[in-house]
Structures are given as C-alpha cells and as structure tokens.
Amino acid sequence: MASQTPLKRTPLNEEHRRLGARMVDFGGWDMPVQYSGVLDEHKIVRTSVGLFDVSHMGELMVSGRGANDFLQRMTTNDVTKIAIGQAQYSALCKDDGRVIDDIIVYRRGIDSFLVCVNASNAEKDEQWLRAHLPSSGVVLENQSAEYAQIAVQGPKARELVQQFVDINIAGLKYYWFAEGKVLGQPSIIARTGYTGELGYELYVPAQHSPRIWAALVEGAQKFGGKPCGLGARDTLRLEMGYLLYGNDMDESINALECGLGWVTKFAKGEFIGSTALAEQKERGLSRQLVGIQMLDKAIARHGYKIFSALEGGRELGWVTSGTVAPSLNLNVGMAYVAPEFSPVGSEIFVEIRNERKRALVVKKPFYTNGTAQL
C-alpha cells in the first residue's frame, strides 16, 4: 500500500507533545486542537491570556522598486493607505472576483512588505503572485520556513509580552507592528489576532521558537494563562464573525458575497477582479453571508441547508460555520442566504437531520465585549 503523505510540523511540534496537547491533522499539518479543553481555553483567552501556535501560516516577502504598485494591483484593499509599521487586512482575487485568499499586508518599508497568508493557501498564493510579477524590480521570497508565529491573545497579553520584548509596546495600536527583539531574537511584534481580544502575533526565528514558546508558557501561568489549541481559536473567531477560508469563503465565492466589500476599494483604480466585482455590485448579489442565531435548541453545522420560513420554504443557501458560543451560551453561525433574507431579523430554517429548526439572521459580531482595540 502507498504510504500517506507525512503531516507537516511546525517548529513547536515537540513542545505541544511535551505539554500533552491533543494533535490532529489540520489541512496537512500536525497541530494541537486542544490542551485542557476547548471551553476552558476559550474562557482563558476571554479573561486572561492564551498562547496559540500559528506557525503553519505562510510569510511571503515582497520588496524592491515597484512592490507598492504590484501589491496595489494584486490586492483588493488600498496599499497606499498603509504607513510603515502598519498592517492591513485584504484579499487576493481571481479575475472573476472570487477569493483566492484573505491576507494581512504589513508595510516594513517604502518598498518592503510582509504578506501573511493562510496555511492551506501558501503555495497557491505564492504561485499566483509569482505569475503576475513584473519582469524586473519586484522580488518575492517565501520565508515561511524561517518564521514561527506565536499568537498571544487575551486581556493580559500586553503585560505578558512586555516581559519578553526589548521595546515598549504600550503605545502599539491595533493593526500596527514594530520590529524588535523577543528574548534577544530579531522579531516582528504585531498588534493583530483572530480572537477579538487584545493580542499580539509574534513572528520569531523558527530555530529559536521552542525556547521563546516555553518562556511565554511559563510567564502566562502567572496570569492564569495557558497554551491553547485550534478548537478554541475557532470558537473565538466565530463569536467575532471572523471568516475562515475553506469554510466561509473559497474560490467559488466572490469578495462582495462573503462580506469583504469593506476591504474592496474600487476608488483606488484597477486591480485584479475589480471589473467583475464592480459589475456584480451594479447588478446585485445573488447570495450574501450573514450571521445567524438558532431559536430552536440545535447547532447549525457547516454544510447544513438553509430554507425560507415563508410559505413554500424554498432553499436559500447553506451554513458555513456554526457552534455553541461559549461566551454567550447561544448557538450561532454564519450562512449564505438569498439577498432578500439577509436583513437582520429575517426568520429562516436550518435543516438538521431532516428536521427544519428555526433561526434568525442577526448582526455580527455576536460577541461585542472583546478587548482587541484597547
């Protein structure tokens, strides 16, 4: 029998195993899904501080004269609005406006950028960008193997991180970053995250990451914090209505349908996908991603069908993500529905095991008490 392809491992893999994490196959990566349990870890991040290994994410460096213009053409957001030291949420789209990936662009210099991409899309994104590189001037380097990425998230994150960096991070604003040292190692310290809480994503040298991780884990204990797995990261991001590539959007969905209109800047001029998206905006969307809350006692799971609550009960779309929201004790999710059912307050049905359960379209984020921008 042919052997299965070995799972990829982050530089922190042995640390997770040493700490007793439950490991799973996550998109071809051997990753920790939980340590003490999803609910416990979720609560820790909302009230104290949790540590996540997100080293499976990809880091693409774009530099050289013309880098700004190149990314302006390749991404939906306006790169010219990013100051040095600032980060910007954006997306890569195909010519038809469908989403290749959602990304974060960090401006390190006038013509120097770090583009953080989703783990499952790193190779695809690199190939897409490389295929559109100008003949000269712009250099694209995949430096994913050189970095480990540790997300420190929660109200106590600033106090914890400050103990291990050589710069004062008190004034580092949301979606800004600084280049400094973490435990003496040159690193990028970013005020970004995926949980809705005050947090930092530390881009540290891969070879030094086990020592840095261990120090952060030990330091977090003083605040009642602990390492956390991807299970809690998913419930945290869903409470905030943050998109997950592969669930809430993919190459079958365009940027406007999945709610990325706010980072789609038509006024900046032409970019890949702009013509198709402008036409789509003009004629109207055929589906729209919305937040939903279950009224009946049931959980909406990925792939469940959505039906109208009106007479006839026609099929409207499908659930993309759903869970029990631990911070709210509510069953919430996101789903694609026909535009006329997208307004907040619309009643719908979710088909669960051949039974139609009542649900309501609600405003996102579901959780509104996060500390992310404090």
Q: What is residue 311's predicted lDDT score, i.e. its pLDDT?
A: 79
In the numeric block, the tokens 């649900």 are attached to 359
Q: What is residue 4's predicted lDDT score, i.e. its pLDDT?
A: 75
Question: Would residue 1 count as lying in a domain?
Answer: no
Question: Would residue 368 count as lying in a domain?
Answer: no
In the numeric block, the tokens 């198709």 are attached to 276
Q: What is residue 189's predicted lDDT score, i.e. its pLDDT?
A: 98
Write out the chain's pLDDT in tens, 374 residues.
Answer: 444 789 999 999 999 999 999 999 999 999 999 999 999 999 999 999 999 999 999 999 999 999 999 999 999 999 999 999 999 999 999 999 999 999 999 999 999 999 999 999 999 999 999 999 999 999 999 999 999 999 999 999 999 999 999 999 999 999 999 999 999 999 999 999 999 999 999 999 999 999 999 999 999 999 999 999 999 999 999 999 999 999 999 999 999 999 999 999 999 999 999 999 999 999 999 999 999 999 999 999 999 999 999 878 999 999 999 999 999 999 999 999 999 999 999 999 999 999 999 999 999 999 999 999 98
349 by DSSP, 3-state: which? strand
Same domain, 189 and 232: yes
Q: What is residue 135's predicted lDDT score, i.e. its pLDDT?
A: 94
Same domain, 109 and 44: yes
Q: What is residue 1's predicted lDDT score, i.e. its pLDDT?
A: 45
Same domain, 264 and 302: no
Question: In angstroms, rounded to a whole number, what is the distance separating the alpha carbons of residues 96 and 130?
Answer: 19
Are the CB atoms for 232 and 182 separated by under 8 Å? no
Same domain, 137 and 162: yes
Question: In angstroms, rounded to a whole number, what is the distance separating the alpha carbons of residues 261 and 277?
Answer: 9
Last residue of a domain, one of 281, 302, 333: 281
Whole-model pTM: value is: 0.96
Query: 106 phi and psi, to 5 degrees?
Result: -110, 125
Last residue of a domain, one of 281, 298, 332: 281
Q: What one-letter code names the amino acid at 196?
A: G
Token couple for 184: 């003496």
Token couple for 93: 């789209």
Last residue of a domain, one of 281, 302, 332: 281
- In the chain, what is the greatest distance between 2 CA atoms, to the nearest angstrom? 66
Same domain, 259 and 294: no
Q: What one-letter code names the amino acid at 366?
A: F
Question: Would residue 119 count as lying in a domain?
Answer: yes
Q: What one-letter code names the amino acid at 167?
A: I
Task: Tell me the β-bridge partners of 185.
Answer: 182
Question: Would residue 78 count as lying in a domain?
Answer: yes
Same domain, 39 and 121: yes
Same domain, 74 and 222: yes
Question: Would residue 48 count as lying in a domain?
Answer: yes
Are the CB atoms for 135 and 26 separated by under 8 Å? no
Question: In angstroms, rounded to a whole number, what is the distance separating the alpha carbons of residues 92 and 95?
Answer: 10
Same domain, 164 and 183: yes
Question: In angstroms, rounded to a whole number, what is the distance separating the alpha carbons of residues 107 and 114?
Answer: 7
Exposure b/e, 111-129, CB count within 10 A at least 16 = b: bbbbbbbbbbbbebbbebb
Question: Which residue range is the domain that position 318 belongs to?
Answer: 286-362
Same domain, 261 and 325: no
Are the CB atoms for 266 and 255 separated by under 8 Å? no
Task: Tell me which H or E stretch contains 238.
Answer: helix 230-239
Q: What one-letter code names the amino acid at 129?
A: L
Question: Would residue 240 count as lying in a domain?
Answer: yes
Q: What is residue 310's predicted lDDT score, i.e. its pLDDT?
A: 85
Question: Would residue 303 count as lying in a domain?
Answer: yes
Same domain, 250 and 353: no
> In total, how many domains does the chain have?
2
* CATH code, domain with 138: 3.30.1360.120
Same domain, 277 and 333: no
372 by DSSP, 3-state: which? coil
Query: 169 phi and psi, to 5 degrees?
Result: -100, 5
Half-sphere exposure of 321 (CA within 13 A, CB side): 23
Question: In angstroms, rounded to a whole number, what is the distance separating the alpha carbons of residues 225 and 47?
Answer: 9
**DSSP 8-state class, residue 365:** P
Question: Would residue 169 count as lying in a domain?
Answer: yes
Same domain, 258 and 296: no
Give DSSP secondary structure letters for 69-105. HHHHHHBSS-GGGPPTTBEEEEEEE-TTSBEEEEEEE
* CATH code, domain with 335: 2.40.30.110
